[in-house]
């Protein structure tokens, strides 16, 4: 089978349009292209969308270049006059929406200056920088300037799914056959008997269409919920004098938005103030060069990313008036890429479909030849009646129905169903899957490279220890702080509080009730909490001192520095960050007397020991430093050395509950866990040991040391690396690349910062943090871990494995039905001249094995056994030898039983009378259906004998089995007129159930037959090897 599927191989990431087109051209015999390819990317639309996108980007580039040229000739051009309508004037605004959108989009700096720059815009939009938009004016602003939403494709209604299900070519042919049957049947057999055959087919088609449409509609609802969740982005704004988080969809023109590194600019706007604000406009312009935003270049465009720095902007344009809005409308065309498993199963469906078509044609030919030969023998070859036409029509309907059963349309769609179900469950479990293929790939993950802070730890940080003036003190509430105040001078405390409150990107805000809260990262929040506990006042500090320059923290610098103007005209620089890095910038220290003294080599070693002591207690350490700067406030620059060490702070971040068990679960499942962190190596080792990541024989290495390794050294050391500390994003990217290329690992990597984007993109599965993660990281990730919890990552791996195993179960079940239905109808047609299973019966069987089978088997939740097996290899055969063993074994049993009933059923069961043939055929149909019901239960386990484990916990599986049995009873006992069945005695019902139930012990016996495995140590689905002999019981 694998040799036949060579054209259906697809990599999980980075596929070209040529690769996607290749497998499509290999697909043939598709009954319903609309349904089969619904969840597959539309390459024609995508190509058009990309062309539109390129044109839009070219247009935006032209505007920006024109702006640069226009700046040189600005004085020669008369500024535009902006007229305001009565409606806008009455609302209190001085700009029409299209006017302000136009001049911001075109970077019209001349009119910007004429208006009065940002102050003029703020005035015309009736807003205050400090107070922000009033909540009362939000509705008015939305009415005048529009809402911040983009045009999206309307979702399909249920009737659209019914319409698409009716596009199945085989069902259309059967409908035509049914109508012809009615047209011929009414004149020959009269009313109402002439209706029955045709009406039976039409009713069966109606049932198939409705069940199919309901299943597909449910999937679409799940994907719609997922899509809504993907688009949830929140930004910080000032409203009603308070800083708060709002959804980007609730933004209005006039909102004051706070931007920081990694944010997406949520609307077009004008820069108000900030520090070192660098914007990546490549998503809009296609140009990779970052843009520095300041007073001279104040225009910010929606959809661009903050690469560095921080700032405030006023929103001027929202929704479809922005270029990003038009771009998003374009990009929504084309759909999402298909997954490797979907493609592979399209290949399986194509191969089986060709076999089915051959059997179908042969069946029709054999039946027709037999019929013609029999007429010739009777001497009636020249005499043809309407009954003969009905007979041939019936043969044709059976042949078409064999194609319906033979082409397993449900195989690729079962993957979509399984993915939709898994993604809905994962969303409830705090994991948002952005790309479908990530769910599959996660089941094959062999390595997880995880961050420490917030993922393995709780991210609820508190200052636990502080070293200051040569003294180390444990902080436990107010008493400890009071003790600290008695041990250091007021002057030192004042410097400490300035170092905390001035050098921070966080803010202390009051809510509606006047309660104080901190907006910012957990590390910053812990420091500010400690500062306030020590008697500091954030607002008072910020009002007295003026911040001149800021160098924000990022994962490369690992420090944050600010330049502060003092009330007396002096300037001070404050620096905080990774202890070892900041310590190297210091040449002085505050001694126990509160005096600034030179930092000797011996003292520096002592301070290093203090840092390592804090770190070995699993504390995150930060150095706070200060320097007096001699330059005037206007010319000052942030110094790079000569600082005075003020304090070393140890911040406690406890390990999350359940992380150790989750790590053990990964190791048992053959998934190695590596911690990659920017923290101190001793802190990292302490946390890694507590989590069970760092084990005996494992290596903990620092980023700089890793960077200096040669490729040969990396090859020998990487398999043993369990912790990488003080790492840069580049180190993480290098590690991921080496693991994938050198060792063929399937790597999942976590990331939260802007600089993590390359590693997230390079990995097989990028996992972004939902709480701590930036929008840039989330955009480059495949899965967003909404609670930032490592346990959730392991849950994604469990579901990934469950999807793969569930699809294998469904394939095993469906192939068994295919083989039996094809062979029994073909052989019977050849020998007896009639098919035991009619068109209506085959349509019901198709429904059982296709839509209902997929619902039952493809949606089973993961069990604990899944995490006790090795990951599925990249090149592992999808249909394994144990599966073939089960398929052929069950098929052989069913064929023998049905063949005996077909050819000798009347004699064996002593069935006599005029309706003996109908009774036997009904018994064959009933036994066949019950064989499938019990085989569906058998398929729950491919290798394990206990097939009932967890069956009653899966309500979908149980409901499908129950509804199948109930409907089978209704068909046989009450719908015989349409389904060509007769009511059976209770003895025959028992016989049908027993024939089906015998497949269970047969399945158990089959599983004891050893089959050759590529990896004899572990079965294909990872369960422990089957016991033999006395242990089997």
Active-site residue set:
451
Rounded Cα distance, 925 and 996, in Å: 12
Return the exposure string of 198-235: e unless at least 16 CB atoms fall within 10 Å of the residue's CB, then b. Answer: bbbbbbbbeebbebbbbbbbbbbebbeebeeeeeeeeb
Three-state helix/strand/coil letters over 747-771: EEEEECCHHHHHHHHHCCEEEEECC
Residue 392: how many CB atoms within 10 A of its CB? Answer: 16
The dihedral built from the CA positions of residue 453, 454, 457 and 462, taken in this order, carries a sign that is positive
Rounded Cα distance, 986 and 1001, in Å: 23
Element (H, E) at 374: helix 340-377
Q: Which long-range contacts (CB under 8 A, 24 or more apart) does 905-912 make?
A: 909/988, 909/991
- How far are the Cα atoms of 373, 499, 570, 645 from residue 631, in angstroms, in the given order? 111, 20, 8, 21
Residue 183: how many CB atoms within 10 A of its CB? Answer: 12
The DSSP code sequence of 164-212 is HHTT-HHHHHHHHHHHHHHHHHHHHH-TTHHHHHHHHHHHHHHHHHHHH
The dihedral built from the CA positions of residue 498, 500, 502 and 508, taken in this order, carries a sign that is negative
Of 596, 592, 598, which is closest to residue 488 (Cα–Cα)? 592
Per the CB < 8 A criterion, the answer to whether 840 and 201 are in contact is: yes
CA-CA-CA-CA dihedral for 316, 320, 321, 325, to nearest 10: 80
Angle at 48 between CA 44 and CA 54, to 5 degrees: 145
The dihedral built from the CA positions of residue 41, 44, 50 and 52, taken in this order, carries a sign that is negative
Three-state helix/strand/coil letters over 686-742: HHHHHHCCCCCCCEEEEHHHHHCCCHHHHHHHHHHEEEEECCCHHHHHHHHHHHHHH
Rounded Cα distance, 199 and 980, in Å: 12
Q: For tokens 């397993």, name the residue.
A: 408
Per the CB < 8 A criterion, the answer to whether 403 and 355 are in contact is: no
Q: Is 744 helix (H, G, I), strand (E, B) or coil?
A: coil
Rounded Cα distance, 705 and 821, in Å: 64
CA-CA-CA-CA dihedral for 377, 381, 382, 386, to nearest 10: 130
Per DSSP (E only), the strands in 182-304 are 234-239, 242-247, 256-260, 268-280, 291-292, 299-300
Instruction: Quote the tokens at residue 684.
Output: 């990292």
Return the exposure string of 645-661: e unless at least 16 CB atoms fall within 10 Å of the residue's CB, then b. Answer: bbbbbbbbbebbeebbe
Q: Tell me the CB-side half-sphere exposure of residue 454, using CA atoms within 13 A.
A: 20
Per the CB < 8 A criterion, the answer to whether 760 and 736 are in contact is: no
Rounded Cα distance, 320 and 554, in Å: 33
Phi, psi of 501 (to 5 degrees): -80, -30
Per the CB < 8 A criterion, the answer to whether 201 and 174 are in contact is: yes
Q: For tokens 């013609």, name the residue.
A: 372
Residue 1018: how many CB atoms within 10 A of its CB? Answer: 16
């Amino acid at each position: 089978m694998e040799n036949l599927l060579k054209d259906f191989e697809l990599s999980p990431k980075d596929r070209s349009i040529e690769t996607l087109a290749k497998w499509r051209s290999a697909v043939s015999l598709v009954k319903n292209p609309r349904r089969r390819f619904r969840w597959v990317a539309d390459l024609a639309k995508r190509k058009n969308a990309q062309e539109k996108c390129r044109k839009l980007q070219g247009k935006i580039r032209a505007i920006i270049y024109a702006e640069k040229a226009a700046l040189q000739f600005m004085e020669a051009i008369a500024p535009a006059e902006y007229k305001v309508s009565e409606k806008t004037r009455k609302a209190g605004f001085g700009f029409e929406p299209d006017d302000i959108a136009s001049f911001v989009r075109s970077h019209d700096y001349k009119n910007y200056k004429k208006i009065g720059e940002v102050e003029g815009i703020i005035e015309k939009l009736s807003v205050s920088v400090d107070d922000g938009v009033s909540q009362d004016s939000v509705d008015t602003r939305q009415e005048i300037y529009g809402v911040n939403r983009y045009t999206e494709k309307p979702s399909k209604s249920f009737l659209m799914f019914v319409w698409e299900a009716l596009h199945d070519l085989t069902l259309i042919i059967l409908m035509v056959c049914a109508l012809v049957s009615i047209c011929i049947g009414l004149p020959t057999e009269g009313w109402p008997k002439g209706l029955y055959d045709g009406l039976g087919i039409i009713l069966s088609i109606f049932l198939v269409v409705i069940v199919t449409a309901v299943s597909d509609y449910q999937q679409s609802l799940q994907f719609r919920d997922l899509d809504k969740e993907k688009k949830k982005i929140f930004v910080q704004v000032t409203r009603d004098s308070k800083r708060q988080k709002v959804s980007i969809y609730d933004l209005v023109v006039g909102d004051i938005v706070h931007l920081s590194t990694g944010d997406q600019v949520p609307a077009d706007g004008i820069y108000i103030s900030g520090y070192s604000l660098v914007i990546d406009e490549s998503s809009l312009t296609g140009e990779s060069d970052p843009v520095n935003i300041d007073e001279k270049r104040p225009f910010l465009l929606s959809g661009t990313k903050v690469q560095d720095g921080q700032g405030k902007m006023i929103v001027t344009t929202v929704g479809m008036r922005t270029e990003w809005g038009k771009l998003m409308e374009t990009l929504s065309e084309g759909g999402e890429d298909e997954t490797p498993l979907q493609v592979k199963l399209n290949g399986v469906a194509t191969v089986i479909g060709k076999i089915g078509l051959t059997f179908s044609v042969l069946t029709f030919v054999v039946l027709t030849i037999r019929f013609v030969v029999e007429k010739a023998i009777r001497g009636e070859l020249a005499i043809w009646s309407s009954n003969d036409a009905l007979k041939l029509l019936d043969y044709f309907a059976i042949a078409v129905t064999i194609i319906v059963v033979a082409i397993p349309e449900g195989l690729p769609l079962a993957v979509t169903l399984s993915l939709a179900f898994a993604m809905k469950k994962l969303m409830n479990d705090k994991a948002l899957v952005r790309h479908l293929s990530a769910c599959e790939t996660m089941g094959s993950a062999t390595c997880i490279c995880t961050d420490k802070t917030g993922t393995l730890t709780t991210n609820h940080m508190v200052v636990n220890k502080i070293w200051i003036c040569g003294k180390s003190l444990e902080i436990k509430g107010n008493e400890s702080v009071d003790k600290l105040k008695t041990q250091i001078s007021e002057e030192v405390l004042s410097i400490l509080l300035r170092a905390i409150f001035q050098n921070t990107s966080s803010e202390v805000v009051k809510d509606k009730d006047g309660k104080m809260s901190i907006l910012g990262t957990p590390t910053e929040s812990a420091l500010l909490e400690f500062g306030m506990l020590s008697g500091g006042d954030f607002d008072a500090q910020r009002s007295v001192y003026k911040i001149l320059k800021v160098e924000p923290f990022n994962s490369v610098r690992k420090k944050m520095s600010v330049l502060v103007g003092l009330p007396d005209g002096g300037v001070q620089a404050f620096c905080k960050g990774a202890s070892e890095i900041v310590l190297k910038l210091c040449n002085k220290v505050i001694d126990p007397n509160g005096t600034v003294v030179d930092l000797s080599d011996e003292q520096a070693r002592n301070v290093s020991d203090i840092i390592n002591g804090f770190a070995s207690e699993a504390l995150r350490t930060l150095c706070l430093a200060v320097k007096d700067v001699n330059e005037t406030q206007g010319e000052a620059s942030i110094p790079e050395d000569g600082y005075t060490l003020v304090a070393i702070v140890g911040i406690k971040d406890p390990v999350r509950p359940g992380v150790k068990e989750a790590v053990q679960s990964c190791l048992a499942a053959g998934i190695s866990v590596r911690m990659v962190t920017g923290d101190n190596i001793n802190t990292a080792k302490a946390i890694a040991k507590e989590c069970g990541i760092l084990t005996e024989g494992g290596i903990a290495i620092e980023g700089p040391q890793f960077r200096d390794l040669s490729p040969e050294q990396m090859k020998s050391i990487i398999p043993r690396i369990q912790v990488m500390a003080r790492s840069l994003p580049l180190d993480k990217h290098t590690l991921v690349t080496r693991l994938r290329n050198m060792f063929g690992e399937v790597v999942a990597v976590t990331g939260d910062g802007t600089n993590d984007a390359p590693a997230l993109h390079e990995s097989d599965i990028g996992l972004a943090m939902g709480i701590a993660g930036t929008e840039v990281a989330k955009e480059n990730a495949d899965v967003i871990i909404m609670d930032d919890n490592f346990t959730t990552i392991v849950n994604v791996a469990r579901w990934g494995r469950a999807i793969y195993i569930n699809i294998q179960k469904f394939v095993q079940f469906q192939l068994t039905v295919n083989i039996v239905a094809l062979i029994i109808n073909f052989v019977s047609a050849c020998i007896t001249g009639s098919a035991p299973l009619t068109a209506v019966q085959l349509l019901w069987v198709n429904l059982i094995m296709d839509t209902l089978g997929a619902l039952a088997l493809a949606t089973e939740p993961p069990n604990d056994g899944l995490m006790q097996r090795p990951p599925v290899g990249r090149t592992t055969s999808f249909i394994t030898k144990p599966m073939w063993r089960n398929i052929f074994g069950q098929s052989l049993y069913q064929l023998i039983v049905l063949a005996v009933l077909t050819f000798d059923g009347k004699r064996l069961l002593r069935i006599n009378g005029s309706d003996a043939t109908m009774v036997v055929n009904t018994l064959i149909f009933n036994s066949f259906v019950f064989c499938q019901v019990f085989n569906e239960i058998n398929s729950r386990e491919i290798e394990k004998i206990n097939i009932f484990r967890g069956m009653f916990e899966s309500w979908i599986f149980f409901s499908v089995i129950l509804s199948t049995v109930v409907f089978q009873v209704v068909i046989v006992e009450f719908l015989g007129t349409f389904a060509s069945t007769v009511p059976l005695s209770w003895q025959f019902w028992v016989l049908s159930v027993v024939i089906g139930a015998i497949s269970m012990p047969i399945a158990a016996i089959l599983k004891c037959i050893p089959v050759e495995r590529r990896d004899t140590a572990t079965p294909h689905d990872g369960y422990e090897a089957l016991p033999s002999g006395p242990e089997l019981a």
